[in-house]
Amino acid sequence: MLKYEFDWSVVTSGQYYDWIVSGLYLTIQLSAVSIVLAFLLGLLIAVMRMSSVKPVKWIAHGYLEFFRNTPLLVQIFFWYFGSYKILPQSVNDWLNSTNFEFAAAVIALTIYTSAFIAEDIRSGVLSIPKEQMEASRSGGFSYLRSMQYIILPQAVRITIPPLIGQFLNLTKNSSLAMTIGVAELTYQARQVEAYTFKGFEAFTAATLVYVALSIIITALVTLYSKKVLHRTG
Amino acid sequence: MESGLDFTIVKDNLLYFMIGAYPEGKLGGIALTIYLAVAACFFSFWGGLILGLMNVARNKAIRYASGAFVNFVRGMPLLMVIFWCYFLVPGLFGQPVGETKTVIIALSLFTSAYMSQIVKAGIESIPKGQTEAARSSGLKLWQVMVFVILPQGLRNMIPSFVNQFVSLIKDTSLAFIVGVSELTHVATQINNRSFVYPTEIFIFIAVIYFILCYIFTEFSRWLERRLAWRKSI
């Protein structure tokens, strides 16, 4: 085996430390923006999926199946390299005027994750007894209003643990944004390796950050499930 | 700019998309994607089985060690696992290991952690009384596992295994990053060569991935229905 000299100072101070921290910052930013958008889009798709209007239901169903059964990486490449031909010129202009790499990554992550979130929300809604919908309908609420005031507030609460699981997946999946040049955590770890040949230290730093994020969030979910969900039965 | 999509680029390169440079060069394209997924699925089934059994072991040290390993791997992005393997595997084997093998090792390690959770759930779904009954009729612990618990538990878990295989098909696209010429890599190659048809190329491979994954997703749903039917009689 090759002799390897450890030098942890590479990732604990100085310029390369700053790279890793800026990568972490971008990872958090990317995940936070995408999870909010993915939640809203997922909610919309879930409501469409449960609609009684057939075409709306089919569109939502097709959306879910297609985006869940396609690799995220391919979706990222599609939005980054290939979307200009199918988007209107005004949207292209706007995208080019912003940070396009970041925007493409957000679009891909949002759409991919929203498909999974929609299914989580749907199973949350299905766990609410049907009588509640019937009662609110006969109480004079429209379908959308019953969803908004009666069903979704309860369903979303049940859905929070799986949603946070999706958030964790999203954070990990955001590492794929490095392939189109978004300088997030994995990208920076690889940069540090390329510049210093200290791959072991650089990857350890990035790995520990990911694992720490995931352990902290998982612990919070467990706590939430025990305290909140258990209490309401 | 001309609007409308032109799929001649796909037609002209169809064979390359399917098998890469084979038989003159190495196998690639869709064939390699399937090969990677099947190989990694095989290894991660056994890896997951071993880890899952360790997860329910009586010995606390074994249980904690395997649990820590599983949680650690699950907290990491797959991309990070691939980089680690790319970086460490040649050192461990004392000689260069091909990219394809490295990726299979990385995919197997990563998926084993997820498979182990399926195996664990499968084992725990079998009532305790069965273990007690088998033990009291004279079977040794390992015999109880091999002849009584696993055959039933694993059968219940087949749909989840198939879902995991679908994830694997999608995950093989990450092999692109270390230059393994599977479908996504082939697509980026053709895209770099032709330059003006990114939309067509990425839509085409998205559809290919979708077809591959959707077949298995439906297969898993069918299995689930069949198992449910079987349990109900």
Q: Is residue B1 part of a domain?
A: no
Token pair 């198939």 is found at B162
- pLDDT tens-digit profile of A71-113? 999 999 999 998 988 888 888 888 888 889 999 999 999 999 9
Residue B84 lies in a domain: yes
CATH 1.10.3720.10 fits A9-232, yes or no: yes
- How buried is A154 (Cβ within 10 angstroms: 0-12 exposed, 13-18 middle, 19+ buried)? middle
Query: CA-to-CA distance for B99 and A180, rounded, in angstroms?
Result: 21
As for how many domains chain B has, the answer is 1
In a domain, B2, yes or no: no
**Is there a contact between A71 and B209 if contact means CB atoms under 8 Å apart?**
yes
d(Cα B174, Cα A177) in Å, to the nearest integer?
Answer: 12
- In this structure, what CATH number is given to the domain that contains residue B177? 1.10.3720.10
Q: Is the residue at B121 inside a domain?
A: yes
Q: Cβ–Cβ of B174/A73 closer than 8 Å?
A: yes
Structural contact between residues B171 and B78, judged by C-beta atoms closer than 8 angstroms:
yes
Neighbours of B208 (CB within 10 A): 20
| Strand partners for B29 | B182
Does residue B210 carry a pLDDT above 80? yes
Domain boundaries, chain A: 9-232
Q: How far apart are CA B209 and CA A71, in angstroms?
A: 7
Which residue among A71, A86, A172 sits closest to B170, beta carbon to beta carbon? A71
Query: Scanning every residue of chain A, which has its alpha carbon at the shortest distance from the alpha carbon of B213?
Result: A69
In a domain, B64, yes or no: yes
At residue A233, the pLDDT reads 45
Please write the tens of the pLDDT for every residue from B102-152: 999 999 999 999 999 999 999 999 999 999 999 999 999 899 999 999 999
B84, B72 Cβ separation under 8 angstroms: no
Query: Measured between CB atoms, which of A1, A73, A83 is closest to B184?
Result: A73
Q: What SS3 class is residue B13?
A: coil
Type of residue numbered A87: L
- Is pLDDT of B188 > 50? yes
Nearest CB partner across the interface for A73, out of B76, B80, B173 = B173
Task: Specify the pLDDT at position A14.
Answer: 86
ipTM over 0.95: no
Q: Using one digit for the tens of pLDDT, what is the confidence trace for B5-47? A: 889 888 889 999 999 888 888 899 999 999 999 999 999 999 9
Q: What is the pLDDT of residue A5?
A: 79
